[in-house]
Structure 1
């Protein structure tokens, strides 16, 4: 060791700042040389100095001073009042009949709490921010690459045009550069915010470690966690990637036909995380409760649809009668005959629903029609020609979604506004069919506008614009039935489950429904349970209450789940409470 480095290792006296410290005052947490010990002991601003040798500092705890009795230290803790107290406080009778503990025992709990916070910051929250930072940088690179490709496409397409076209090229390049700079600046700002937050987390961890390494009980007792602030996760606004869409050359309307810049939204910035989604899981009850069981007398009960919160429609697989039941009294109100829901090819329609005005809608696969019932009279609403309707649901905006099949073409989902079709969902981004002809094609719209369609061994969830968000393939474990996953087990299992791990039977989705928390509920007739997944496709739990063959599902405005339990002789409808 050199002389300079040795001088740096010497601990100096905190009073004179020149002599080497040999003693330490635990009360004031200050280092002292022997010459300054006497002056420090006689100082008026301290009352009970505990001076020890420097090597054994922190050997005794530093108790907080009692506020009512300034000449006393608090060596006890009143749990009823949640504050440190001294012996005079106890003798005064103020804390009579209160539960009093040694303050040193409270320190152990405080330190454990701080350690848990540090563990969460280091193992969960910091990696989340780091992952988001990585995704941000990837998005910046993606924007750079896409903008370069768009620039090349604009140049290539501009070669076919003359002077007027050159003006359009210049204008589009300028707009592209503006979009590029704006989006990159937006992401850079977000990257800067995330880096700053990660730095704050590091400071917090360091501050917590200082408390843990200190013997000052007052700092431990007065500790305030900052994890709630960080646990919310980064607030990141996604940006749209600019692309260029070229149009075929014509001699008229140069500017319109040349093409325009557009943006395509990507999910690259989404980071599903147990840290950010535990609140969704907390909404689920630890134990479900069956509120009502409605015997229907309908063999092979499959389809149900709510009319308000007091009535429910029900229909069976081989039945030509639709029945309306009173939920609270568990009895039938009325029934009437409908057109056959079975097509010439043996496909059964899954489609009954209720409009916002309270009218029943049902699909007729035999005649390829969607019908509405008003004043107990059936009226044809839509005739589909060569397509056979399979399922129907009414969206939050009043549109109608109809799933349908064809002898030769892949199935599709069509959105109708009134009787006008305004959207078709049939293929993925690669041009492959989303649905198979033997899919059951139950439909539901989530609160985030996603469209959920049950298929053979899978549930396809697409955005309202038609692009696929995810495909859920089932998740089963016999030990998990009716048990919410712990955060630890959930971290291990947070993934898409396309292969269907941990199930006893093949995943066989039927009815689908959604609630106010954007949960997606799926009836699994093979495993006799209902799956609950979140809006990102991650499994949360199963509902199993002794159902024989769960089929149709619906959820009312109070988030009560209704399950059509299909049975050979007489199906029943179970009203279930599963949310807190």
Structure 2
């Protein structure tokens, strides 16, 4: 009997242990299911994110095609305008000659002033063919998507000119005045070009010239009292236009950011205060975002300074490993692309 009781007790212990293990396994199963559901949720979140990325890419290319189409049609329309005017005038002359001949009026014949010399030359041949770029897409399954077509316009400064590259062809867009060299530029929302110019001297004077096409329409150098806006020196004046039309200039020679309205009147200057950095403010490149915020690199303090459009300091970004930041650009998603002097590139999302 004792043996039977002992055996039963041992079996009850084993059953209790098995129930405990079973409960543990069920708990682990539930936990695993929950974790896999979280994983699937993360996957779906990334799926939506990547779908949005693809949509954004195609939207961007669609916008580019629309822009190319509008420019092409505009060019063809402008080319067609002059010949149409000439044709209409020639038809008018033929009609006037017929009327004179039918009238048999001596006075009309004597007083007739011919325009034949102006129109006798053969019509000038006009290249009215627009080559629509072909679309090349690589979509090998499991590999990256590659899509390209056409060639955008590249604008850059040379020794004494502003150069534009259109469809692979290089041409001089702007010839700078004698004694001045172009050191930098930015394109405005209206299509104008702002050019930072410097004098041919050991210590350079600076000014900003606005060009509409090839014509200089604004010269920003001195205020109404004759005082220069920018300090002489060998640092380039980096430029950006804000959404409200303000001209934002980074003056590394004066260690200041100068912001002017589109008429060239100074709205404010920023000297690095109240950021309270360890070293003096040393601005280099400048950019603006969709919120009209002004972002400035400070390579002396390894950070970005962010201001609102009225010059109020918002924050410094100094926790992203920005070792001597230099170049700066903002993409259409508001991300900062920061070029470091080491040659590295940092992409930063500003959550403000």
TM-score normalised to structure 2 length: 0.54
Aligned to 2:315: 541
Match of 1:566 among 317, 326, 341: 341
SS in 1 for 2:292: coil
Match of 2:154 among 340, 360, 376: 360
Gaps of 5+ in 1: 1-307, 311-328, 335-356, 478-501
**Could you tell me how far 1:525 is from its partner in structure 2?**
0.8
Residues 429 and 467, structure 1, Cα contact 8 Å, conserved in 2: no
Residues 411 and 426, structure 1, Cα contact 8 Å, conserved in 2: yes
Aligned CA-pair RMSD: 2.9
Match of 1:415 among 210, 235, 243: 210
Match of 1:454 among 229, 250, 273: 250
Residues 510 and 551, structure 1, Cα contact 8 Å, conserved in 2: yes
SS in 2 for 1:505: coil
Gaps of 5+ in 2: 1-58, 62-142
**Could you tell me how far 1:429 is from its partner in structure 2?**
3.1
Structure 1 pair 573–400 and aligned structure 2 pair: CA distance change class (3 A): same
SS in 2 for 1:561: strand
**Could you tell me how far 1:428 is from its partner in structure 2?**
2.0
The correspondence of residues 455-494 of structure 1 with structure 2, limited to 5 A, is: 455=251, 456=253, 457-475=255-273
Q: In the aligned structure 2, how far is the partner of 1:562 from the partner of 1:414?
A: 27
- Residues 1:399 and 2:181 are matched in the alignment: no
List per-residue Cα deviations over 1:28-68 (Å, max 9, x = no partner).
xxxxxxxxxxxxxxxxxxxxxxxxxxxxxxxxxxxxxxxxx
The correspondence of residues 176-215 of structure 1 with structure 2, limited to 5 A, is: none
Residues 412 and 424, structure 1, Cα contact 8 Å, conserved in 2: yes
**Could you tell me how far 1:476 is from its partner in structure 2?**
6.0
The correspondence of residues 163-562 of structure 1 with structure 2, limited to 5 A, is: 358-364=152-158, 367-384=159-176, 385-407=178-200, 410-438=205-233, 439-455=235-251, 456=253, 457-475=255-273, 502-544=276-318, 545-562=320-337
Q: In the aligned structure 2, how far is the partner of 1:359 from the partner of 1:437?
A: 32
Residues 410 and 426, structure 1, Cα contact 8 Å, conserved in 2: no
Query: Which stretch of structure 1 is more off in the superposition, 378-387 or 460-469?
Result: 378-387
**Could you tell me how far 1:421 is from its partner in structure 2?**
0.6
Structure 1 pair 428–437 and aligned structure 2 pair: CA distance change class (3 A): same
Query: Which stretch of structure 1 is more off in the superposition, 411-420 or 381-390?
Result: 381-390
Residues 286 and 296, structure 2, Cα contact 8 Å, conserved in 1: yes
SS in 2 for 1:475: coil
Residues 406 and 437, structure 1, Cα contact 8 Å, conserved in 2: no
List per-residue Cα deviations over 1:346-373 (Å, max 9, x = no partner).
xxxxxxxxxxx93111112xx2111112
Q: In the aligned structure 2, how far is the partner of 1:430 from the partner of 1:565?
A: 39
**Could you tell me how far 1:415 is from its partner in structure 2?**
0.5
Q: In the aligned structure 2, how far is the partner of 1:417 from the partner of 1:472?
A: 29
**Could you tell me how far 1:510 is from its partner in structure 2?**
0.7
List per-residue Cα deviations over 1:92-130 (Å, max 9, x = no partner).
xxxxxxxxxxxxxxxxxxxxxxxxxxxxxxxxxxxxxxx
Q: In the aligned structure 1, how far is the partner of 2:273 from the partner of 2:207?
A: 26
Aligned to 1:346: none
Residues 240 and 249, structure 2, Cα contact 8 Å, conserved in 1: yes
SS in 1 for 2:237: coil
Aligned to 2:70: none
Segments of 4+ in structure 1 off by > 6 A?
Answer: none
**Could you tell me how far 1:444 is from its partner in structure 2?**
0.1
Ranked by relative contact order (alpha carbons within 8 Å, sequence separation 6 or more), the top structure is 1
